[in-house]
Structure 1
Amino acid sequence: MATSPFDRTKFVSELTALCHSLDAPYSQQKVEQILSAFDEHLDNSYVWLRCTSKPKDIVNFRLAFHGKFVDTTSIEANAGWIDIENPLAKVNRSWSSRANAEEWCDFDPSRGIAKNWVYFQRIQPFQEILSASGLPAAAASRVPDLQAAGLDDQVNFAAVDYTNKSINVYFLLDGGLTAERAAKYVALAGSKPPSEEEVQVMSDHMNPMFTFGVTIIPETGHIPRVAFYATVGDAESFPPLKDHERLRKFYREAPCHDPKRLEIICWSYGADDSNKYMKGEASYAGYNEDFSRRMFERWIESPA
């Protein structure tokens, strides 16, 4: 079954209802501005919705552009959301100048651009990602710590976060998460190790591979949070969400116009309580299962 064409009016209506239901910040005017700025790309975009377990937090939406390069920072600068010379925008352009890279976007429905993503069709060496033009040396200084934690060169995504003035590097890792392995990863952010139950649940949904994200403050090299991502089925009934009614409500009410909805769960860890939460992501429109399968095949076939 083919995906339905993106319906701008329906999306605005459904996003409005979802944000209001989850008591999330929202501006219909801002959403309309975002859609107008990216109007020519909407029909071929892959749209996601994202929510955290934190009360009244933002419900973001993501635009991913399959198989083509979209100069998102120029669009954002022309819309007045960022300065084209913004240091993080420069880092984003440096990353996306690598071969076979694509720029994606996360939007805050109340403020505009939140994050720029770079999807690498081919696995990248993280030493080069953290030494990109425009990044302070403090970012690259964390390479030895990441290596000591057991992280290798399997970088499949990177992102700049304009809201939090940080960068994110995502590693594609083999499954089989162990308590020792998890403890090393979360220690990067100064967090206590996950419980045995948490590790087991994560491991059960991370085979044969999973994504692990590291957030870095470029100017200092500080790592405030790390996160584990897993694809799940029937996320609303997923046992780890039993104490997270907001996320269960998100999965229950988030609309989807794909033949099959993809649901992702994220466990976030950090020394600060504000960085300890869970996140949910769900496809809204444009999800192509064949594309996602080819995406993983390219990563597996092209080690850094």
Structure 2
Amino acid sequence: MESYMSGTSEADEICSAVTETAGRLGIAFSRDKVWPILSAYGDAFAHAMPLAFRMATGPQHAGDVDCRFITHPKDRNPYPLAVSKGLTPKTSHPVGTLLSEIEERFPIDGYGIDFGVVNGFTKVYAGFAPQDLQNASKLVEIPAMPRSLAGNFDFFVRHGLDDKVAFVAVDYLHRTVNVYFNDVPAACFESDGIRRMLRDLGLPGPSDRMLGIGGQAFGLYITLNWDSPAIERFCFGVTTTDLSSLPVSIEPQLEKFAHCVPYGGADRKFVYGVAAAPEGEYYKLETHYKWNPGTVAFI
């Protein structure tokens, strides 16, 4: 399969932003790791909104920063190109067929890509139109989907999430799947609702910080894998153009990150997220390099 376009000025601009951000954060940057991704999807950058960088706390996220963007054209699955260009290895694992099986069964409204400055190509998002959110009860029928989605289906029904699926993200590096929910019932973000959901999932109870973020959250997502019947992580986030307006203070390393990312637009936008996991909570900050009002936000 041919690349979207190679060597575009937009790809050069993003490469410069990645280089500058990595340098300011003291992260080893390899053009040989990043440029093949930017080159393969070069045409996307003339149309992609948002373009964003993300960093997370916790030892499992140390030493890397992610870049994410929406691909163009929106009806072209970016995963086969990633395999053909050697950005991610071909695999017989179900992770390699999940996206095509989703594409066969659901009306995809657009795709997004994540890559790490250090880890390279990691993830593809498949999104549904805001007015056409999908049902988890249909997703569980996909052969390659982790069985933990079906195994926890009662959880989605109980909390009013079954018909609220907005995105599915396939992480090829870590072999996990994220299922994103929008238009979430308000009760899910109330303190008692958050406690109830984490208890239902067998995850540790929320901190006061997590409860504070919940009051302003816009959506939530879960993380699944093929090796466990449990939901691995539960996450939600808030958006803001002013970090000082958040209901909690952000971690020093994330605040430093926010100041290290260059910006190519008029107004700044941030997404601050919290994830509950068996080993405890961790936090992440997405800062947009370019964005348009009304564009989607990931956590």
The bucket for the TM-score relative to the shorter chain is: 0.7 to 0.9
CA distance in 1 between counterparts of 2:296 and 2:209 reads: 29
CA distance in 2 between counterparts of 1:292 and 1:277 reads: 22
1:29 paired residue number: 32
Alignment of 1:195-214 (within 5 A): 195-196=207-208, 198-203=210-215, 205-206=216-217, 210-214=218-222
CA distance in 2 between counterparts of 1:101 and 1:251 reads: 30
Secondary structure at the aligned position of 1:241 is classed as coil
1:71-105 per-residue CA deviation (whole Å, 9 max, x = no partner) reads 21111111111316552131112223311432211
One-letter code of the match for 1:193? G
Structure 1 residue 49: Cα displacement: 0.9
CA distance in 2 between counterparts of 1:201 and 1:77 reads: 38
Contact 1:51-1:57 at 8 Å conserved across structures: no
Secondary structure at the aligned position of 1:12 is classed as helix
Contact 1:117-1:158 at 8 Å conserved across structures: yes
CA distance in 1 between counterparts of 2:100 and 2:133 reads: 18
2:95 paired residue number: 88
Are 1:186 and 2:198 counterparts? yes
2:16 paired residue number: 13
Contact 1:183-1:192 at 8 Å conserved across structures: no
CA distance in 2 between counterparts of 1:164 and 1:178 reads: 31
CA distance in 1 between counterparts of 2:284 and 2:236 reads: 10
Q: TM-score, normalised by structure 1?
A: 0.83
Contact 1:22-1:246 at 8 Å conserved across structures: no
1:54 paired residue number: 58
Q: Cα–Cα, structure 1 residues 290 and 201, in superposed 2: closer, same or farther, change >3 Å?
A: closer
2:5 paired residue number: none
One-letter code of the match for 2:292? N
Contact 2:270-2:286 at 8 Å conserved across structures: yes
One-letter code of the match for 1:9? D
Q: Cα–Cα, structure 1 residues 25 and 160, in superposed 2: closer, same or farther, change >3 Å?
A: farther
2:44 paired residue number: 41
CA distance in 2 between counterparts of 1:90 and 1:128 reads: 17
Secondary structure at the aligned position of 2:20 is classed as helix
CA distance in 2 between counterparts of 1:128 and 1:63 reads: 27
2:4 paired residue number: none
CA distance in 1 between counterparts of 2:83 and 2:77 reads: 10
Secondary structure at the aligned position of 1:191 is classed as coil
Contact 1:74-1:84 at 8 Å conserved across structures: no
Are 1:101 and 2:106 counterparts? no
One-letter code of the match for 2:42? D
Gaps of 5+ in 1: 294-304
Task: Tell me which of 232, 236, 240 is aligned to 1:228.
Answer: 236
1:273-302 per-residue CA deviation (whole Å, 9 max, x = no partner) reads 3xx2111112212x2215559xxxxxxxxx
Secondary structure at the aligned position of 2:194 is classed as helix
One-letter code of the match for 1:181? G
Contact 2:44-2:70 at 8 Å conserved across structures: no
CA distance in 2 between counterparts of 1:238 and 1:137 reads: 36
2:282 paired residue number: 277
- Higher relative CO (CA 8 A, sep ≥ 6), structure 1 or 2? 1
CA distance in 2 between counterparts of 1:213 and 1:165 reads: 16
CA distance in 1 between counterparts of 2:110 and 2:143 reads: 17
- How many corresponding residue pairs? 281
2:69 paired residue number: 63
CA distance in 2 between counterparts of 1:201 and 1:139 reads: 26
Are 1:289 and 2:293 counterparts? yes
One-letter code of the match for 1:200? G
Q: TM-score, normalised by structure 2?
A: 0.84
Contact 1:96-1:103 at 8 Å conserved across structures: no
Over the aligned positions, Cα root-mean-square deviation in angstroms equals 2.5
Gaps of 5+ in 2: 1-7
One-letter code of the match for 1:191? L
Secondary structure at the aligned position of 1:123 is classed as coil
Are 1:175 and 2:186 counterparts? yes
Q: Cα–Cα, structure 1 residues 291 and 178, in superposed 2: closer, same or farther, change >3 Å?
A: closer
